[in-house]
Structure 1
Amino acid sequence: MTSSPHRSGGEGDANADKRPRFFDTKTKNICWAKADTVAGRHPERWRKDAAGNIVCKRFFNCLGCLCYEYDHIIPYSKGGESTADNCQILQSRVNRLKSNKDQIDSDKLRGYSCDINFTEKELDIIEMAVYGDVIRPGNQCRCRTIDEMLGKYKAKDNTNACKLP
Protein backbone atom coordinates (compact mmCIF):
# COMPACT_ATOMS: atom_id res chain seq x y z
CA MET A 1 0.00 0.00 0.00
CA THR A 2 1.39 3.40 -0.93
CA SER A 3 1.20 6.55 1.14
CA SER A 4 0.30 8.60 -1.91
CA PRO A 5 -2.38 11.26 -1.44
CA HIS A 6 -4.01 9.88 -4.58
CA ARG A 7 -5.10 6.78 -2.67
CA SER A 8 -4.93 4.39 -5.57
CA GLY A 9 -5.25 0.68 -4.98
CA GLY A 10 -2.39 -1.77 -5.18
CA GLU A 11 -0.67 -2.33 -8.52
CA GLY A 12 -2.35 -5.72 -8.91
CA ASP A 13 -5.83 -4.27 -8.46
CA ALA A 14 -7.34 -3.92 -11.95
CA ASN A 15 -10.24 -1.84 -10.56
CA ALA A 16 -8.02 0.63 -8.70
CA ASP A 17 -9.28 4.21 -9.05
CA LYS A 18 -6.39 6.20 -10.55
CA ARG A 19 -8.10 9.59 -10.22
CA PRO A 20 -6.48 12.00 -7.76
CA ARG A 21 -8.68 12.20 -4.66
CA PHE A 22 -7.40 15.54 -3.39
CA PHE A 23 -7.05 18.98 -4.97
CA ASP A 24 -3.49 20.01 -5.73
CA THR A 25 -2.09 23.41 -4.71
CA LYS A 26 -2.68 25.02 -8.12
CA THR A 27 -6.31 23.87 -8.12
CA LYS A 28 -6.82 25.19 -4.57
CA ASN A 29 -5.40 28.56 -5.58
CA ILE A 30 -7.77 28.76 -8.57
CA CYS A 31 -10.68 27.68 -6.36
CA TRP A 32 -9.90 30.38 -3.77
CA ALA A 33 -9.55 33.01 -6.52
CA LYS A 34 -12.93 32.21 -8.08
CA ALA A 35 -14.80 32.43 -4.75
CA ASP A 36 -16.66 35.69 -4.07
CA THR A 37 -14.73 38.43 -2.29
CA VAL A 38 -15.92 40.08 0.91
CA ALA A 39 -16.58 43.81 0.54
CA GLY A 40 -14.07 45.88 2.52
CA ARG A 41 -11.86 42.86 3.28
CA HIS A 42 -8.56 41.85 1.73
CA PRO A 43 -9.28 39.20 -0.95
CA GLU A 44 -6.18 37.15 -0.14
CA ARG A 45 -7.38 36.80 3.44
CA TRP A 46 -11.19 36.61 3.22
CA ARG A 47 -13.71 35.05 0.84
CA LYS A 48 -17.32 33.90 0.77
CA ASP A 49 -18.06 30.23 0.29
CA ALA A 50 -20.71 28.85 -2.06
CA ALA A 51 -23.36 29.37 0.65
CA GLY A 52 -22.35 33.00 1.26
CA ASN A 53 -20.45 32.35 4.52
CA ILE A 54 -17.36 34.44 5.24
CA VAL A 55 -14.21 32.32 5.64
CA CYS A 56 -10.60 33.20 6.49
CA LYS A 57 -7.75 31.78 4.40
CA ARG A 58 -5.70 30.91 7.50
CA PHE A 59 -8.57 28.79 8.87
CA PHE A 60 -8.28 25.86 6.48
CA ASN A 61 -9.38 22.39 7.60
CA CYS A 62 -10.60 23.33 11.06
CA LEU A 63 -14.16 23.31 12.43
CA GLY A 64 -14.94 26.90 13.46
CA CYS A 65 -17.45 29.23 11.81
CA LEU A 66 -14.74 30.99 9.75
CA CYS A 67 -13.08 27.71 8.75
CA TYR A 68 -13.36 26.18 5.30
CA GLU A 69 -12.51 23.16 3.18
CA TYR A 70 -12.17 22.56 -0.54
CA ASP A 71 -15.22 20.65 -1.75
CA HIS A 72 -15.95 18.57 -4.83
CA ILE A 73 -19.10 20.11 -6.33
CA ILE A 74 -19.87 16.73 -7.89
CA PRO A 75 -18.69 14.40 -5.12
CA TYR A 76 -15.60 12.33 -5.77
CA SER A 77 -17.61 9.23 -4.81
CA LYS A 78 -20.03 10.00 -7.66
CA GLY A 79 -17.31 10.43 -10.30
CA GLY A 80 -16.40 14.07 -9.64
CA GLU A 81 -12.87 15.01 -10.61
CA SER A 82 -10.36 16.93 -8.48
CA THR A 83 -10.26 19.84 -10.94
CA ALA A 84 -10.72 23.60 -10.58
CA ASP A 85 -14.13 23.58 -12.28
CA ASN A 86 -15.35 20.95 -9.78
CA CYS A 87 -13.95 22.75 -6.75
CA GLN A 88 -15.60 25.20 -4.37
CA ILE A 89 -14.76 26.45 -0.92
CA LEU A 90 -17.28 25.60 1.76
CA GLN A 91 -17.44 26.42 5.44
CA SER A 92 -16.25 23.21 7.12
CA ARG A 93 -19.59 22.62 8.82
CA VAL A 94 -21.42 23.01 5.50
CA ASN A 95 -19.00 20.67 3.74
CA ARG A 96 -19.42 17.98 6.41
CA LEU A 97 -23.21 18.15 6.21
CA LYS A 98 -23.19 18.27 2.40
CA SER A 99 -21.09 15.09 2.43
CA ASN A 100 -21.49 13.22 -0.87
CA LYS A 101 -24.68 15.01 -2.00
CA ASP A 102 -24.67 16.82 -5.32
CA GLN A 103 -26.93 19.33 -7.03
CA ILE A 104 -27.54 21.24 -3.81
CA ASP A 105 -28.41 24.90 -4.34
CA SER A 106 -26.90 27.71 -2.28
CA ASP A 107 -30.11 28.17 -0.23
CA LYS A 108 -29.95 24.56 0.96
CA LEU A 109 -26.22 24.92 1.70
CA ARG A 110 -26.98 28.10 3.67
CA GLY A 111 -29.25 26.01 5.89
CA TYR A 112 -26.20 24.00 6.98
CA SER A 113 -24.23 27.14 7.86
CA CYS A 114 -22.99 28.23 11.26
CA ASP A 115 -25.44 30.71 12.77
CA ILE A 116 -22.85 33.26 13.91
CA ASN A 117 -22.73 36.54 11.99
CA PHE A 118 -19.55 38.45 12.81
CA THR A 119 -19.56 42.24 12.98
CA GLU A 120 -16.93 44.27 11.10
CA LYS A 121 -15.19 45.03 14.38
CA GLU A 122 -15.09 41.34 15.32
CA LEU A 123 -13.63 40.47 11.91
CA ASP A 124 -11.01 43.20 12.41
CA ILE A 125 -10.06 41.72 15.78
CA ILE A 126 -9.85 38.22 14.28
CA GLU A 127 -7.74 39.48 11.38
CA MET A 128 -5.47 41.33 13.80
CA ALA A 129 -5.05 38.18 15.90
CA VAL A 130 -4.42 35.91 12.91
CA TYR A 131 -2.29 38.15 10.69
CA GLY A 132 -0.97 40.75 13.13
CA ASP A 133 -2.57 43.60 11.19
CA VAL A 134 -5.70 44.55 9.26
CA ILE A 135 -5.47 45.38 5.57
CA ARG A 136 -8.25 47.19 3.81
CA PRO A 137 -8.18 46.95 0.01
CA GLY A 138 -7.61 50.25 -1.77
CA ASN A 139 -6.79 52.00 1.49
CA GLN A 140 -3.19 53.13 1.85
CA CYS A 141 -3.29 53.26 5.62
CA ARG A 142 -2.47 50.35 7.88
CA CYS A 143 -4.04 49.34 11.16
CA ARG A 144 -1.92 49.46 14.27
CA THR A 145 -0.72 46.22 15.79
CA ILE A 146 -1.72 45.23 19.31
CA ASP A 147 1.80 46.07 20.56
CA GLU A 148 1.47 49.55 19.07
CA MET A 149 -1.92 50.03 20.73
CA LEU A 150 -0.44 48.97 24.07
CA GLY A 151 2.56 51.29 23.60
CA LYS A 152 5.05 48.40 23.55
CA TYR A 153 6.18 49.05 19.99
CA LYS A 154 6.64 52.12 17.82
CA ALA A 155 6.14 51.45 14.12
CA LYS A 156 9.01 52.22 11.77
CA ASP A 157 6.48 52.61 8.99
CA ASN A 158 5.38 56.25 8.70
CA THR A 159 2.09 55.33 7.05
CA ASN A 160 -0.87 56.61 9.03
CA ALA A 161 -2.67 54.03 11.13
CA CYS A 162 -6.33 53.32 10.31
CA LYS A 163 -8.97 53.52 12.95
CA LEU A 164 -10.83 50.32 13.65
CA PRO A 165 -14.63 50.67 13.45
Structure 2
Amino acid sequence: MSNSGAGSASSSSSSPGRKEKEKDGRPRQFDAKAKTLCWARADTVPGRHPERWRKDAAGNIVCKRFFNCSGCLCFEYDHIIPFSKGGESVVENCQILQTRVNRFKSDQPEVDITRLQGYSCDITFTDKELDIIEMAVYGNVIRPGNQCRCRTVAEMLGTYKSKDSKAVCKLPES
Protein backbone atom coordinates (compact mmCIF):
# COMPACT_ATOMS: atom_id res chain seq x y z
CA MET A 1 0.00 0.00 0.00
CA SER A 2 1.01 3.64 -0.04
CA ASN A 3 4.09 4.56 1.90
CA SER A 4 2.80 7.94 2.97
CA GLY A 5 3.53 7.17 6.60
CA ALA A 6 -0.14 7.30 7.64
CA GLY A 7 -0.62 5.64 10.98
CA SER A 8 3.02 6.24 11.85
CA ALA A 9 4.16 6.81 15.39
CA SER A 10 6.16 9.80 14.19
CA SER A 11 4.35 13.10 14.17
CA SER A 12 4.69 16.13 11.96
CA SER A 13 7.55 17.24 14.22
CA SER A 14 9.90 14.70 12.64
CA SER A 15 12.57 16.22 10.46
CA PRO A 16 12.26 16.06 6.65
CA GLY A 17 14.03 13.13 5.04
CA ARG A 18 13.96 11.12 8.24
CA LYS A 19 12.41 7.66 7.95
CA GLU A 20 9.23 7.35 9.95
CA LYS A 21 9.08 4.36 12.26
CA GLU A 22 6.18 2.50 13.78
CA LYS A 23 5.92 1.85 17.50
CA ASP A 24 7.88 -1.38 17.05
CA GLY A 25 10.80 0.55 15.50
CA ARG A 26 10.36 -0.76 11.94
CA PRO A 27 10.68 1.88 9.21
CA ARG A 28 7.38 2.24 7.35
CA GLN A 29 8.79 3.85 4.22
CA PHE A 30 11.36 2.49 1.80
CA ASP A 31 14.66 4.35 1.94
CA ALA A 32 16.20 5.98 -1.14
CA LYS A 33 18.46 2.99 -1.86
CA ALA A 34 15.53 0.53 -1.71
CA LYS A 35 13.49 2.77 -4.03
CA THR A 36 16.37 3.02 -6.52
CA LEU A 37 16.86 -0.76 -6.55
CA CYS A 38 13.10 -1.37 -6.71
CA TRP A 39 12.83 0.90 -9.78
CA ALA A 40 15.82 -0.85 -11.39
CA ARG A 41 14.25 -4.30 -10.83
CA ALA A 42 10.99 -3.36 -12.56
CA ASP A 43 10.53 -4.34 -16.20
CA THR A 44 11.73 -1.81 -18.76
CA VAL A 45 9.51 -0.37 -21.47
CA PRO A 46 10.87 -1.23 -24.93
CA GLY A 47 11.98 1.88 -26.81
CA ARG A 48 11.80 4.08 -23.68
CA HIS A 49 14.55 5.40 -21.45
CA PRO A 50 14.78 3.07 -18.42
CA GLU A 51 15.49 5.90 -15.98
CA ARG A 52 12.23 7.58 -17.00
CA TRP A 53 9.82 4.73 -17.77
CA ARG A 54 9.12 1.30 -16.28
CA LYS A 55 6.34 -1.26 -16.10
CA ASP A 56 4.75 -1.94 -12.74
CA ALA A 57 4.05 -5.43 -11.39
CA ALA A 58 0.74 -5.50 -13.34
CA GLY A 59 2.39 -4.47 -16.63
CA ASN A 60 1.26 -0.82 -16.56
CA ILE A 61 3.62 1.84 -17.92
CA VAL A 62 4.61 4.38 -15.26
CA CYS A 63 6.76 7.52 -15.38
CA LYS A 64 9.40 8.10 -12.70
CA ARG A 65 8.45 11.76 -12.32
CA PHE A 66 4.87 10.77 -11.48
CA PHE A 67 5.56 9.36 -8.03
CA ASN A 68 2.77 9.57 -5.45
CA CYS A 69 0.12 11.13 -7.68
CA SER A 70 -3.17 9.70 -8.94
CA GLY A 71 -3.02 9.54 -12.74
CA CYS A 72 -2.70 6.47 -14.94
CA LEU A 73 1.08 6.96 -15.37
CA CYS A 74 1.58 7.53 -11.63
CA PHE A 75 3.03 4.97 -9.25
CA GLU A 76 3.88 4.20 -5.65
CA TYR A 77 6.38 1.90 -4.00
CA ASP A 78 4.37 -1.03 -2.64
CA HIS A 79 5.08 -3.54 0.09
CA ILE A 80 4.54 -6.94 -1.57
CA ILE A 81 3.82 -8.36 1.88
CA PRO A 82 1.94 -5.45 3.44
CA PHE A 83 3.63 -3.54 6.23
CA SER A 84 0.53 -4.13 8.36
CA LYS A 85 1.02 -7.89 7.93
CA GLY A 86 4.68 -7.80 9.02
CA GLY A 87 6.28 -6.94 5.66
CA GLU A 88 9.56 -5.09 5.94
CA SER A 89 10.51 -1.90 4.09
CA VAL A 90 13.35 -3.58 2.19
CA VAL A 91 14.02 -3.92 -1.54
CA GLU A 92 13.12 -7.62 -1.54
CA ASN A 93 9.61 -6.66 -0.40
CA CYS A 94 9.25 -3.70 -2.77
CA GLN A 95 7.53 -3.37 -6.12
CA ILE A 96 6.30 -0.41 -8.10
CA LEU A 97 2.56 -0.29 -8.69
CA GLN A 98 0.37 2.15 -10.54
CA THR A 99 -1.20 4.26 -7.80
CA ARG A 100 -4.71 3.07 -8.60
CA VAL A 101 -3.59 -0.59 -8.45
CA ASN A 102 -1.77 -0.01 -5.16
CA ARG A 103 -4.87 1.56 -3.60
CA PHE A 104 -7.06 -1.36 -4.68
CA LYS A 105 -4.46 -3.90 -3.51
CA SER A 106 -4.48 -2.19 -0.12
CA ASP A 107 -3.13 -4.54 2.57
CA GLN A 108 -3.68 -7.80 0.68
CA PRO A 109 -0.53 -9.91 0.47
CA GLU A 110 0.82 -11.07 -2.90
CA VAL A 111 -2.25 -10.43 -5.07
CA ASP A 112 -2.42 -12.46 -8.31
CA ILE A 113 -1.24 -10.50 -11.37
CA THR A 114 -4.59 -10.91 -13.16
CA ARG A 115 -6.36 -9.25 -10.22
CA LEU A 116 -3.79 -6.46 -10.24
CA GLN A 117 -4.38 -5.98 -13.97
CA GLY A 118 -8.12 -5.76 -13.28
CA TYR A 119 -7.46 -2.78 -10.99
CA SER A 120 -5.39 -0.97 -13.63
CA CYS A 121 -6.45 2.15 -15.50
CA ASP A 122 -8.06 1.07 -18.73
CA ILE A 123 -5.90 3.35 -20.88
CA THR A 124 -3.09 2.54 -23.27
CA PHE A 125 -0.83 5.24 -24.65
CA THR A 126 0.60 5.38 -28.16
CA ASP A 127 4.31 6.06 -28.69
CA LYS A 128 3.46 9.56 -29.87
CA GLU A 129 1.42 10.26 -26.73
CA LEU A 130 4.25 8.99 -24.51
CA ASP A 131 6.69 11.19 -26.46
CA ILE A 132 4.49 14.23 -25.87
CA ILE A 133 4.17 13.41 -22.17
CA GLU A 134 7.94 12.87 -21.89
CA MET A 135 8.57 16.17 -23.68
CA ALA A 136 6.19 17.97 -21.31
CA VAL A 137 7.63 16.36 -18.17
CA TYR A 138 11.35 16.26 -18.97
CA GLY A 139 11.69 18.92 -21.68
CA ASN A 140 13.04 16.39 -24.18
CA VAL A 141 12.57 12.83 -25.39
CA ILE A 142 15.32 10.25 -25.12
CA ARG A 143 15.01 7.07 -27.14
CA PRO A 144 17.67 4.46 -26.29
CA GLY A 145 19.76 3.47 -29.31
CA ASN A 146 18.86 6.54 -31.37
CA GLN A 147 21.71 8.73 -32.50
CA CYS A 148 19.45 11.73 -32.70
CA ARG A 149 17.83 13.69 -29.93
CA CYS A 150 14.45 15.32 -29.83
CA ARG A 151 14.30 19.08 -29.59
CA THR A 152 13.54 20.63 -26.23
CA VAL A 153 10.46 22.77 -25.75
CA ALA A 154 12.69 25.88 -25.69
CA GLU A 155 14.23 24.87 -29.03
CA MET A 156 10.79 24.31 -30.54
CA LEU A 157 9.72 27.76 -29.37
CA GLY A 158 12.91 29.29 -30.78
CA THR A 159 14.07 30.63 -27.41
CA TYR A 160 17.12 28.37 -27.14
CA LYS A 161 19.70 26.96 -29.51
CA SER A 162 21.24 23.72 -28.29
CA LYS A 163 24.99 23.20 -28.20
CA ASP A 164 24.40 19.44 -28.42
CA SER A 165 26.04 18.17 -31.61
CA LYS A 166 23.63 15.26 -32.09
CA ALA A 167 21.22 15.68 -34.95
CA VAL A 168 17.71 16.75 -34.01
CA CYS A 169 14.96 14.26 -34.80
CA LYS A 170 11.24 14.80 -34.93
CA LEU A 171 8.49 13.21 -32.92
CA PRO A 172 6.90 10.29 -34.76
CA GLU A 173 3.91 11.14 -36.90
CA SER A 174 1.85 8.05 -36.05
* Distance (Å, rounded) in 1 between the aligned partners of 2:105 and 2:77: 12
Q: CA RMSD in A?
A: 1.4
- 1:34 to partner: Cα distance: 0.1
User: For 1:21-40, what per-residue CA distance to the aligned partner results, in whole angstroms no more than 9, with x for missing partners?
Assistant: 11000000000000000000
Give 3-state SS (helix, strand or coil) of 1:154's partner: coil
* Distance (Å, rounded) in 1 between the aligned partners of 2:22 and 2:122: 38
Matched, 1:38 2:45: yes
Instruction: Report 1:40-55 matches (<5 A).
Output: 40-55=47-62
* Distance (Å, rounded) in 1 between the aligned partners of 2:22 and 2:152: 47
User: For 1:39-75, what per-residue CA distance to the aligned partner results, in whole angstroms no more than 9, with x for missing partners?
Assistant: 0000000000000000000000000100000000000
- 1:79 to partner: Cα distance: 0.7
Q: Which runs of 5+ in 1 are unaligned?
A: 10-16
Structure index of larger Rg: 1
Matched, 1:133 2:140: yes
Instruction: Report 1:39-118 matches (<5 A).
Output: 39-118=46-125
Which stretch of structure 1 is more off in the superposition, 28-37 or 148-157?
148-157
- The TM-score, its normalising length taken from structure 1, stands at 0.90
Aligned length: 158
User: For 1:86-144, what per-residue CA distance to the aligned partner results, in whole angstroms no more than 9, with x for missing partners?
Assistant: 00000000000100001211111000001111110010000001101000112121101
* Distance (Å, rounded) in 2 between the aligned partners of 1:152 and 1:18: 53
Q: Which residue matches 1:143?
A: 150
Q: Which residue matches 2:3?
A: none
Structure 1 segments, 4+ long, off by >4 Å, are none
Give 3-state SS (helix, strand or coil) of 1:47's partner: strand
- The TM-score, its normalising length taken from structure 2, stands at 0.86
Percent of residue pairs identical? 72
Q: Which runs of 5+ in 2 are unaligned?
A: 1-8
Matched, 1:7 2:14: no
Give 3-state SS (helix, strand or coil) of 1:33's partner: helix
- 1:149 to partner: Cα distance: 2.3
* Distance (Å, rounded) in 1 between the aligned partners of 2:64 and 2:103: 18
**Residues 134/79 of structure 1: CA separation in 2 closer, same or farther (3 Å cut):** same
Select 1:21's aligned residue among 28, 32, 44: 28
Give the partner amino acid of 1:7: K
